Amino acid sequence: MAKITLDDLRHSYMPNPTAEDDWALKQLDVDWEDGGAYALLGPSGCGKTTLLNIISGLLRPSHGRVLFDGKDVTDLPPDQRHIAQVFQFPVVYDTMTVYDNLAFPLRNRGVAEADVDKRVREIAELTDLTETLNVRAAGLTADGKQKISLGRGLVRTDVNVVMFDEPLTVIDPHLKWQLRSKLKELHQRVGVTMIYVTHDQIEALTFADQVVVMNLGEVVQIGTPVDLFERPQHTFVGHFIGSPGMNVMPCEVSGGNAYVNGVRVEAANAHACAADAKGLEIGVRPEFVSFADDGLPVRVTKVSDAGRFQIVDASHDGGSIKLLVAEGDEIPADTAKLKFDSAHTQVYDGGWIVGAKGGAA
């Protein structure tokens, strides 16, 4: 077990990166606490897997260091870092039995057979593999194989961190939920640091205590699921997390008040804006927009029923805006006025939240 520190980390797949776009990972300074459950969330191609491979030692970063408990491991190969990784597609040794699969990492390290047996049975119990121990691994279903991969990681007693690279991609939908709860349960029982890479916000938010949102090779926000929802540090986080995503529209700020199309709207951090700032945007989640007697004038263009609530599309002079209305609530037929919940409305400058410039920049 260990605390993982990424110090001034950058990586490029090119030999001589020059332009900003040449970097697959731009600049990372992150601390992962020992025993935490982290999710790395971001769209495809944002550098999640690159980062994971750097932590596991499969890839050497072009710049910066990786520290486990303060010890520099940047140049150590994967097998000496005491990490475990579960891949997107199940990796099992087909010709071996489940038992031999689980024993493989221990036997490679020369552990005595009696200890191997004890440990394998323990882990098999944890991962629900006891009944299939003597079956050939090739005969298992995808979720069984992912459990073997996980078990092979956990079987070593010295494991620092278990990493998951989109481990549920090939799992049937009805088993995804089960396996995810199993992971969560294992995290609580074993207490080892886990890093879970995914582009699925539900997986990330349900698995992790702390979610690291990445975009275009940089970390845009690290926070609890609640943080990400209520106070997105970047408009990208607002868009990417939540369904439907955050509304973002151009605005102006003067005298500590925000204006959209000349109409004053509430915003938590409007007072923090520089008076002459240009290109400001205001962001508010559909959950925090409601109809009111007074506010931003809009025309309702579409209503879609999503079961327990209705998603209303409304248009104003500068674009469109979405809001959620509880099921059964009345929706104005044509023109209406909207009000934003001031505590959950933020002004963004160049994509980043104004005032408390958090996250990595």
Partner 1 sequence: MNKTVNQKAWLFVVPVVLLVAFNAIIPLMTVVNYSVQETFGDNTFFWAGVLWFEQVLNSERFHDSLMRQIIFTATILAIEVPLGVAIALTMPRKGVWVPVCLVLMALPLLIPWNVVGAMWNIFALPEIGLLGRMLNGIGFDYNFTRQPEDAWFTLILMDVWHWTSLVVLLSYAGLVSIPDAYYQAAKIDGAGGWAIFRHIQLPKMKRVLTIAILLRFMDSFMIYTEAVVLTGGGPGNSTTLLSIDLVKIALGQFDLGPAAAMSLIYFLIILLVSWVFYTLMMRNEQQ
Which residues sit at the interface with partner 1, rule CB under 8 A? 53, 56, 58, 77-79, 83-85, 87-89, 91, 93-96, 104-105, 108-109, 136, 149, 152-153
* Nearer to partner 1 (CB atom), residue 95 or residue 254: 95
From residue 90, alpha-carbon distances to 156, 164, 242 in Å are: 19, 11, 29
Minimum Å gap between C-beta 31 and partner 1 is: 23
* Nearer to partner 1 (CB atom), residue 78 or residue 358: 78
Here the tokens at position 229 are 């929802």
Minimum Å gap between C-beta 179 and partner 1 is: 18
Residues 6+ apart with CB under 8 A from 280: 250, 251, 252, 253, 258, 273, 347, 348, 349, 354
Question: How many CB atoms lie under 10 A from the CB of residue 228?
Answer: 25
* Nearer to partner 1 (CB atom), residue 163 or residue 323: 163
* Nearer to partner 1 (CB atom), residue 95 or residue 181: 95
* Nearer to partner 1 (CB atom), residue 91 or residue 249: 91
Minimum Å gap between C-beta 132 and partner 1 is: 15
* Nearer to partner 1 (CB atom), residue 17 or residue 78: 78
Which DSSP letter does residue 95 get?
Answer: T
Minimum Å gap between C-beta 58 and partner 1 is: 5
Angle at 130 between CA 125 and CA 136, to 5 degrees: 135
CB 145 within 8 A of CB 92: yes
Minimum Å gap between C-beta 346 and partner 1 is: 41
Minimum Å gap between C-beta 22 and partner 1 is: 20
Angle at 194 between CA 7 and CA 23, to 5 degrees: 40
Q: What residues are paired with 248 via a beta bridge?
A: 283
